[in-house]
Amino acid sequence: MNRYTRRIILSVATVVLAGLVMAAPRPATAQYAFTTVDVPGAASTDLVGFAAKTLVGDFNDAGGNTHGWLFSATSGEFQQFDVPGAWLTGLSAINQRGQFGGVYRDDPAHPARRRSKAA
């Protein structure tokens, strides 16, 4: 068998193998369940972090102000968080012990400057 014949056989075998792989049955498509999270009375809600039974994020009220929020599946209630003197507060992380943190903005002269806070 010469080199040319060997290449043809290898090419045909590759095409046949690729066809078999493409024709193989595929596993079922994953099924997902979605839940809408809306802070009551908010104009918009962002979910940013979560732990086993707690969700955190930020929301905008009708006046365009941004507040942090925490939702506890245990109590079924939302809690609002605002850093005193800040015009923007957002919670972005929580751990399994219930400690959470986020960012806030409180300097009108530098509106893009964000500061971090943990509780």
Q: What is the mean pLDDT of residues 86-94?
A: 90
pLDDT at 26 over 80: no
Contacts with 6 (C-beta within 8 Å, 6 or more apart), sequence order: none
Tell me the pLDDT tens digit for each residue of 30-65. Answer: 888 888 889 999 999 999 998 888 999 999 999 989
- What sign has the CA pseudo-torsion 73, 71, 51, 34? positive
Could you tell me if 86 and 104 are in contact, meaning their C-beta atoms sit under 8 angstroms apart? yes
Contacts with 58 (C-beta within 8 Å, 6 or more apart), sequence order: 45, 46, 48, 66, 67, 68, 69, 89, 90, 91, 92, 102
Q: What is the mean pLDDT of residues 5-12?
A: 70
Which is more confidently placed, 71 or 18?
Answer: 71
Query: Got the DSSP string for 58-115?
Result: EEE-TTS-EEEEEEETTTTEEEEE--TT-SEEEEEEE-TTS-EEEEEE--TTSTT--E
pTM exceeding the 0.85 threshold for the entire prediction? no
Q: What is the mean pLDDT of residues 4-11?
A: 69
Residue for token pair 């365009």: 64
Could you tell me what percent of the chain has a pLDDT over 70?
Answer: 84
> How many Å apart are CA 105 and CA 95, to the nearest integer?
23
pLDDT at 80 over 90: yes
- Band the pLDDT of 82: cuts 50, 70, 90: very high
- Band the pLDDT of 70: cuts 50, 70, 90: very high
